[in-house]
Amino acid sequence: MNIVDVIEKEQMKRATPQFSIGDQVDVSVKIIEGDKERIQVFSGVVIARNGGGFKETFTVRRIVQGEGVERVFPIHSPKITDIKVVKSGKVRRAKLYYMRGRTSKGTRLQEKFEKEATKTASEAPQAAKK
C-alpha cells in the first residue's frame, strides 16, 4: 500500500453529509483570527462537486450585496465543522455554472420534495371513509 494512501485514509472524515447539486446548504467553517477561533457560516447553493475520495471538493455560490460570491470547500477539510442542507433543489444538470450569469429571481431553483411514505393497506380504507 502506498504511503500517501495511508495518510489520506487517516485524514478522511468517517461520515460525510449527503447533499447534491442544487441543494441550498449552510457550511460552518472554522476561522482563526490571531489567538481566537470562531465558526462562520457560509450559506448558498451547491453548483458543482469535483474529484473523488480525499480530494473531493464542492463549490457553493451565493449573492452578497448584488455581487456573486463562490467558495470551493474540500469535503474532508478539518476546517469544515458542519454542513446542513436547508433545501433541496430540483435540477437536471451536473454543474450549475449557468447560475453565474443570473441575478435576483433568476437564481431561484424549484424545490425538490421527498415523497411521503406510502400508506399501508389497512390505513387506506380508513382514510377514504373520512
- Listed by start position, the domains of the chain span 3-101
Are 59 and 47 a contacting pair, CB within 8 Å?
yes
| pLDDT at residue 49, as a whole number | 92
Taking the C-alpha atoms of residue 82 and residue 70, their distance in angstroms, rounded to an integer, is 18
Asked if CATH classification 2.30.30.790 holds for the domain at 3-101, the reply, yes or no, is yes
pLDDT at 88: 85
Whether the model clears a pTM of 0.85, i.e. scores above it, the answer is no
- Asked if pLDDT for residue 128 goes beyond 70, the answer is no
pLDDT (tens digit per residue) in 33-74? 999 999 999 999 999 999 888 888 999 999 888 888 999 999
Q: Which of 97, 93, 55 is nearest to 73 (CA)?
A: 55
* C-alpha cell belonging to residue 59: 463549490
Distances (CA, A) of 88 to 9, 10, 48: 30, 31, 14
The DSSP call for residue 127 is H
